[in-house]
Structure 1
């Protein structure tokens, strides 16, 4: 029987409450958007398998609550379950770019922040689907390249790599290391 996927990458989306983390994940995993805002309680995840350079990559995208009252739960999860090592792949997302009149962070500021931290930056819109697939695929490709350079030989077992992604402006929330 053929494997369902070649690699499993666990992505963690973190950021302030109300920035659209859940909407981004639902747009990516289900290609759906709902205007109704429902706060995430604790942690949830969605799965989507994508093809990157001929490899089937299963992306397990974890959604964390951005509200301060859930900080203890989400912080414990980062420490207990995720690999937050210095070499982890990161990505900065500026969501809701379709809402120019309500913009909180200028594109130039976000680009500068991403450059300072040596990470990619995408402006996204879960509502219009702008750059959502591109951002997740870019991150998956970077992880695949990095995991390929670290691995020697092939294994019949799918590989698993833990990482995180960031959305919004707070650099403290973009760095777990």
Structure 2
């Protein structure tokens, strides 16, 4: 198993049919599946990325958007450090419902969860119902990140995960997370522990030299 500095737990939320499973599959496996079945409950995926020379493992939970699975979905909010909130740029209802999804995330997740709003399916430009400006405005008003993307064309898929992970890492390095808390959504990996031990060892050697 490859070493990583940190593991970040993610949750992917939004209405049914906005492309959550395809978005995760494109990120984890770099492929698109046209006939992806509706998610029943929760699906899981993971991938390790590099940010500032640190290996960050993203552990993702893709949730069902149907109302009858909402009680299952809510249990996954707690323990997630970041959330991708997806809507379909060709579906006005999916955009209208993001306010409810965001409110649910804020109610059930940690107060410091990082959220990125993702307008998916920009490859269907001729059918667009929501402008990029509308998405940007909503994100700005609610203090969350924003990006438009296409799971089908792999456009801005990596960027959605990387940009949100960078935001989490900045908070982490600023000491905004209590890593001793069970549900903080961040796990320290072996690589980070080795770096810490190496720094401590270097400090001890420097002190010996000074003496």
Q: How would you bin the TM-score normalised by the shorter chain? A: 0.7 to 0.9
Aligned residues: 157
RCO greater where, 1 or 2, for CA within 8 Å and sep 6 or more?
1
Alignment partner, residue 45 of structure 1 = 44
- Mind listing any 5+ residue stretches in structure 2 that lack a counterpart? 82-108, 187-211
> Which one of the candidate residues 84, 88, 100 is aligned to 2:125?
100
* SS in structure 1 of the partner of residue 114 of structure 2: coil
Q: Using the TM superposition, give the Cα deviation of residue 102 of structure 1 relative to its aligned residue in structure 2, in angstroms.
A: 2.4
TM-score, structure 1 length as denominator?
A: 0.80
Alignment partner, residue 172 of structure 1 = none
TM-score, structure 2 length as denominator?
A: 0.68
Matches of 1:85 and 1:19, distance apart in 2: 24
Q: Which has the larger radius of gyration?
A: 2
Whether the 8 Å contact between 1:126 and 1:132 is mirrored in structure 2 is: yes
> Which one of the candidate residues 164, 168, 175 is aligned to 1:150?
175
* Alignment pair present for 1:87 and 2:86: no
> Which one of the candidate residues 162, 165, 168 is aligned to 2:185?
162
Whether the 8 Å contact between 1:8 and 1:161 is mirrored in structure 2 is: no
Q: Using the TM superposition, give the Cα deviation of residue 37 of structure 1 relative to its aligned residue in structure 2, in angstroms.
A: 2.9
Structure with greater proportional helix content: 2
- Mind listing any 5+ residue stretches in structure 1 that lack a counterpart? 164-177
Cα root mean square deviation, aligned: 2.6
Whether the 8 Å contact between 2:150 and 2:156 is mirrored in structure 1 is: yes
